[in-house]
Chain A
């Protein structure tokens, strides 16, 4: 009797987990399994071609360019975002009326992409506002969206859109640090810098992990802005993996797309596992 009760208790979370697990299985794992299958077949007829699609992907120049750009974009954006947002959050944590500011911080996330793109074009277009200022001072117009400068415009857009949300995540972490520990450190003679580096930052390690993963995933969402502003074939500096996937889908290159999806997933998965291990080791 006791045994049955213990088993019941042990698995009573299952009914709550099942709907979500079923959704993930049907809408994520099954399609991914299908992608893995397709990566070994031809696009339309479905004939088995072995690893030819993988060979085609690794030999594809556009794939190389897209991977490079995506990696550079991520490598530039994530440290910038994490750094800037932390310092803003740290500053804001000292402000008294933080509630009001909190809601304002989420505003960029609420702006629809289409509206954002319009603002982009008004600001950075060839005949946009910034170019108007530049040309009115006697300088030549700058092609912000049609040159390598497009990369930095995209970085700016990403940071603007995600900054508030990330600040909020940091704030939650900072607010969670026990004030008694900080007060005790101050009583022991610790200055502000020591409190920050010795107490607050070590306490924020779990938050940093979450923020890194979320920022990384959000970096893929910047494609919408890039696509709406510059189309399927933008300047090569902002040609991302999603552009390639989108164009492959349009051109029915589903075989290459499936193979590339498997490769990209494997890399991201390996990176996440590696990150987790490194984290776990540090925690210990």
Chain B
């Protein structure tokens, strides 16, 4: 017995010592979360231009700290009190006539490194000499060291030193893969590549050891793990510390320590806003932190009284992730620090609609129903039938803003005075083509006729529809035809005609056409919302623009400014597929659940989403605002030319070379155009609510039709059968 006990004790001692040894060999980095009280308050610095745009990183020129704007050759610097941004023309940059600078990568008193419109990289030294830089064609980041040496990295994974006076480059080291951060702190280049975080000492010319805590933390922001472009920026603090900004927030690390302290949570600040992009960080002498984003410069001052601990939790559910909601949450959370917003995305990480709905059902059954639901794509009628949603009209004082709303849009789902969902934004289906051709269009079948006609008559290499995806003819077609196809009981004849139109458009678009599906606009935008980009394309080609219009400043200004193509034809657009169409796509539809544990905050969120300030500052592709005051404010942007701009489009010849460059002034809508538009949106009465499950059925059959495995009639029959089964259930 004694022997057994001895052996047991020996094994136990061995196990314990093994675990102790393994712990001491690599102590994990500790992330210190936000404390309950005291925190950094975010404030946007006043700036006459509104957005900052593609500025350089923070730099100190003549004792003024700010970012350099490429188009105006100005230093936008922070005022002494840290509340405003002033502008100062940089004469050395201005004098060399650099109107064609697209991006400034590095700026300092020692000179500049920038990218011109023709994609060549140049340096401008402090004595005014400009030289082209070789070996930096795929430049990613560049930065000056404190003693004026210039370093840059490219997407090949190389880090190079650039001679500011000659433009010559010398490769100093090689990284591995794509960089997601590149900053110089003291004598160290801190960069993150596919291998993780690295320190490179520029004085000794050797890589040095990265503190364990930083290695783990920065390593988690490798490019391959990120979903969007720029990830991390690092700046030096006033003590022996550094600040790290990323989408998760702002962090502080004291050199040599093992703790990384979170100062600001990305979820409740600009850092986590997916529609914005961080450019650079800077720590002021008084400890105030500044972050430059595309949307502007923000200050972060420590406030010992700021409440950071959440007093309540608001659970929000959405079927699909969308930037509109992310921006709403970020804004709401920063205004309501006591509310922790828990966003649940149903179709995340490859989950199907069916999986997402099963998970939602399970949540509801287990008493964990969300407080607020973004209903887009869900079967709203079913949720109402199940008595899942609160009648919002009963508590309108809790959410209805003082200003008027477009009631025809907001209350589109009103059931005899019972209002279980409200639309916070809307989009407008539109068609654009040459004026004479547009007159002939009043249905999707007419678009198919025109598409076939264009393919027969014109260059087979050019795109006609400007699609993102081979199945776009179905996806986009549905926004025009949804109500006709699925408004009441499904009609086989209408479905057959629809699939036939989709097939004809698809075949004409892809017939001997290598250019189709080549996208020339942002991949962040879903194809059905890229109407204005297609209409813009119609300037240089025979393009039939389809899709939805989303906003006034960008889309409507463009549509009302473009009137003639380079082919000498008058271009025109129409909101709705036919003259008498008054259809709209209600988006960001919000409902509050009956079982909401936090209905008060849910109402506050709804009120926040509908108030004029929020509505006025949406993302580009969010959709039109429904708040009348916000609309009026956006309309009034035409009183001066602040929002007008000039843009250009390259038109290519048959040889693939640029034949012509069209320059166009984009102006805000004038008063007559504003009135016509305002009258139109007030008369909207045909909501097109696209339900995900039904769309999935139609798209699945449509894909078979497009690929030729089924005829239009068979696809229609298949859709009918599935919908009939669904209705019988």
Contact = CB atoms under 8 A, between A and B. Distances in A.
Contact of A233 (B358, B379, B722): B722
Interface in B343-368: 353-354, 357-358, 360-361, 364-365
B358 A253 contact: no
B721 interface: yes
A244 B387 contact: no
Contacts of B700: 231
A236 B722 CA distance: 8
A233 B387 contact: no
A233 B709 contact: no
**Dominant secondary structure at the B interface:** helix
Nearest to A232: B354
A86 to B, nearest CB: 37
A75 B276 CA distance: 62
B682 to A, nearest CB: 36
Contact of A44 (B358, B387, B726, B729): B387
Contacts of B357: 249-252
Contacts of A3: none
B725 A233 contact: yes
A130 to B, nearest CB: 14
Given A44-B594, A45-B594, A126-B710, A251 B387 contact: no
A43 B358 contact: no
B388 interface: yes
A254 B358 CA distance: 11
Given A250-B361, A252-B364, A254-B361, A233 B594 contact: no
B387 A45 contact: yes
Contacts, number: 67
B704 interface: yes
Interface string B139-164: 00000000000000000000000000
A62 B725 CA distance: 7
A232 B709 CA distance: 20
A235 interface: yes
B382 interface: yes
A178 interface: no
B382 A233 contact: no
A248 interface: yes
Contacts of A127: 709
A253 B729 contact: yes
Contacts of A236: 721, 725
B35 to A, nearest CB: 40
A233 B721 contact: yes
Interface string B687-729: 0000001000100100010000110001000100110011011
A158 B361 CA distance: 31
20 contacts: A42-B386, A44-B595, A45-B386, A126-B709, A126-B710, A127-B709, A146-B718, A233-B697, A233-B722, A233-B726, A236-B721, A248-B729, A249-B357, A250-B353, A250-B358, A250-B693, A252-B357, A252-B383, A252-B386, A254-B361
Interface string B325-358: 0000000000000000000000000000110011
A259 to B, nearest CB: 14
Contacts of A45: 386-387, 594
Given A44-B388, A252-B360, A253-B729, 14 more contacts: A42-B386, A44-B386, A44-B594, A62-B729, A231-B700, A233-B726, A235-B721, A249-B357, A249-B361, A250-B354, A250-B357, A250-B361, A251-B382, A254-B361
A260 to B, nearest CB: 11
Interface in A248-269: 248-254
Given A126-B710, A252-B364, A247 B726 contact: yes
Contacts of A232: 354
A61 B709 CA distance: 30
Contacts of A251: 357, 379, 382, 729
A252 B728 contact: no
Interface string B492-514: 00000000000000000000000
B361 A252 contact: yes
A43 B728 contact: no
A204 interface: no
Nearest to A235: B721
Nearest to A256: B729
A233 B722 CA distance: 5
A236 B718 CA distance: 11
A42 B721 contact: no
A60 interface: yes
Nearest to A64: B728
A42 B387 contact: yes
A252 B721 contact: no
Interface in A36-70: 42-45, 60-62, 65
Contacts of B722: 233
A42 B714 CA distance: 38
A151 interface: no
A135 to B, nearest CB: 12
A60 B365 contact: no
B81 to A, nearest CB: 55
A278 B140 CA distance: 80
